[in-house]
Structure 1
């Protein structure tokens, strides 16, 4: 006859096994959903029909220095109105900047690979690299220009402006102010305007 402790342990063990199995199934399902929806890894096809369906969901973007990135059209469309218009098949004049080299392969002539990589990092993961200015301090500037051209969401533009504010100095302040005016980047414009005001006040105070 089993002891009370033995019976109790057997029940606990079965419960733990069931809980672990349920958790593992949940984890596996979530992982499959993530891989199907958001990664750019190669897929294994079981039929030509599945191959065609996958091709219709993905597009390859080629930068002006020939870096190639394969992306999910739906994810791109969720962050950029220009890509959303393009993939909807509109003849909007915004789409003339794209050169379709072959099926599902588009050349983007006004963005380099470094900039496109940072844009796609944000598009996929909703974050901007905190080391975006290392080793290229001009990268936030290029990202902000591209964000305006391709109508990325305001959160990305604000992040680019934040990094530019950190890099403003006596040599680039006036250039940044003109950039902010041209791009309607109010956050950058206000911050750089304050910097210029303080700079001019200091110059006035030190003049004989």
Structure 2
């Protein structure tokens, strides 16, 4: 579900108003909140076991092949591009350890890759919204794993288009194949699927 910003607040930008709304809802409303160019995105269902398990497996598999000093981090904090008015929370972020120091949200331009596990309740958020916004935020590699279909894609090579920055390269995969995210190749064998 996407909620449009309330433009009635004159003292703040629509983005800061939405950020304030999210802070007031913190820990009181179930689900996951993000801010897209279209407004607040609320994934009403908290991630279930297959979603969390997939993110965990991907992170662990990446960390086994990445060099010391590069991490695959799950969960919070957010990745925020305030000038663009976007705040996202990737399921897994590939980032250098040095970039993890400090407080607050991560600068999206410090990420090596953002990885999303498609939500059962809001798949367009990952396949459409984030596909459009991650290149705008400067995230160089975006990987999508879809437990609904047992497929996914890795996008890279940001380039300018009349509609704004987009990924020029897309490599699709099916579960069971090896997949390369940034510079590291992992197996997708045994990743869980959503039931029914």
Q: The TM-score by the shorter chain falls in which range?
A: under 0.3
* TM-score of the pair, normalised by structure 1: 0.26
Structure number with the higher strand fraction is 2
* TM-score of the pair, normalised by structure 2: 0.27
- Structure showing greater Rg: 1
Structure number with the higher helix fraction is 1
Structure of higher RCO (CA pairs closer than 8 Å, 6+ residues apart): 2
